[in-house]
Amino acid sequence: MAANGNLIRPYGSTPGDGQVQVSFTLPIKAGARAREAAKQLAGKMGLSDVQVVHMKDLHGFTYFILYGSVVHAVDLDRIPQVEEEELALSFDQINGLIEQELGRQIVVVGACTGTDAHTVGLDAIMNMKGYGGEYGLERYPMFDTYNLGSQVPNEVLLAKAREVGADAVLVSQVVTERNAHLKNLTELIEMAEAEGLRQDLIIIAGGPRIDQFLATELGFDAGFGPGTTPRQVAAYLAQEMVRRL
């Protein structure tokens, strides 16, 4: 796909053509200069052969859509290998694994922290009903679950974890405006460390803008993004618990 072994570039029509689509609004009224400003910005982003395909005046602002060929490439060798996905274990296999290897339930406490009131995602993972046709953790005989619901302060979550002797803490963060999620997540890890709880807990985060890289960077054990199924989380927790034996 790319001349140089592990360098990859975007692909539209022919390998390595670098085609990307970009849109943005600039605070300038539409016209020839505005179009040129958009092209220059695109140039700074590394686009060549820039085509401004749409320019719409928004009264003092201008909205642009453009296409171009980006000069940058990404070196796949510089992207750390991650376990792309846990071994796909079934409901029964997961319960079996826990029973055999741990011989007891895994205790998990979950919450939407800070001011976040979006419980649907966490409920999808934790509650009976589950998600995408798969049962939630609550339904697994080998999980003991506590779902604290919405707008839970980090300290309350950690206190509950301590109270019930949790093995794992599950945090959901959906609101990302003004980086609310980063603040809440960072605070949690700092608190857990300060309270000396960090190493005894598997702490994982989930939400539409969370991923493995972001989560580990913030000090979490794992991160789960959009479309996560409860079984993926259950499989991860079971295997991570076994790894930690």
Partner 1 sequence: MVNELLVLDQKKVDQARDLARAIAQNVQREIELNTTVSIERTAARLYGIDGVDRFGVPLPNVVVDQVLEAGGLDRGISYWLANAVVALGKTPQAVAEACGEGLNLCSLPPQDPEKWAAVEREYVPKALDAIFEQRKKREAAKERLGVGSEPLKYVIVATGNIFADVEQAKTAARHGADVIAVIRTTGQSLLDYVPYGTTTEGVGGTYATQANFKVMRQALDEVSEEVGRYIQLVNYCSGLCMPEIAAMGALERLDMMLNDAMYGILFRDINMDRTFADQYFSRMINAYAGIIINTGEDNYLTTADAYEEAHTVLASNFINEQLGLAAGLENWQLGLGHAFEMDPKLKNGFLYEVAVAQTIRQIFPQAPLKYMPPTKHMTGDIFMGHVQNAMFNLASVITGQSIHLLGMLTEAIHTPHVADRVLSLENARYVMENARDLGSEISFKRDGIIQKRSEEIVDRVVEFLQEIKQLGLQGAISAGYFADIKRPRLGGRGRDGVIKKGLDYSNPFLTELKKRLGLGE
Q: Which of 3, 4, 5, 32 binds its own copies (CB under 8 A)?
A: 32
- Decide if residue 53 touches partner 1 (CB under 8 A): yes
Tell me, residue by residue from 187 to 226, as one string, x for binding to partner 1 by CB under 8 A and - for no binding. ---------------------x-----------------x
Counting Cβ atoms within 10 Å, is residue 41 exposed (0-12), middle (13-18) or buried (19+)?
middle
Longest dimension (CA), the chain: 71
Counting Cβ atoms within 10 Å, is residue 181 exposed (0-12), middle (13-18) or buried (19+)?
buried
- Decide if residue 125 touches ligand B12 (CB under 6 A): yes
Q: Is 44 marked active-site?
A: no
CB distance 91 to 135 below 8 Å: yes
- Stretch of residues binding its own copies (CB under 8 A), selected from 80-88, 130-138, 149-157, 228-236: 80-88
What DSSP assignment string belongs to 160-178?
HHHHHT-SEEEEE----GG
Beta-carbon-side half-sphere exposure of residue 8 (alpha carbons within 13 Å) = 8
Q: Which of positions 216-245 make contact with its own copies (CB under 8 A)?
A: 225
CA distances from 75 to 96, 183, 217 (A): 41, 31, 20
- Decide if residue 156 touches partner 1 (CB under 8 A): no
- Stretch of residues binding its own copies (CB under 8 A), selected from 22-30, 96-104, 166-174, 196-204: 22-30
Q: Which of 77, 177, 196, 199 binds ligand B12 (CB under 6 A)?
A: 177
CA distances from 90 to 76, 132, 140, 224 (A): 32, 15, 11, 19
Tell me, residue by residue from 192 to 231, as one string, x for binding to ligand B12 by CB under 6 A and - for no binding. ------------x-xxx---------------xxxxx---
Residue 59 contact among partner 1, ligand B12, its own copies, none, beta carbon within 5 to 8 Å by kind: partner 1
Strands 74-75 and 106-112: unpaired
Element (H, E) at 101: helix 91-101
Q: Which of 71, 79, 87, 120 binds partner 1 (CB under 8 A)?
A: 120
What positions carry a catalytic annotation?
A: 129
Q: Which stretches of the chain bind ligand B12, using CB under 6 A?
A: 110, 115-122, 124-125, 131, 170-172, 174-177, 204, 206-208, 224-228, 233
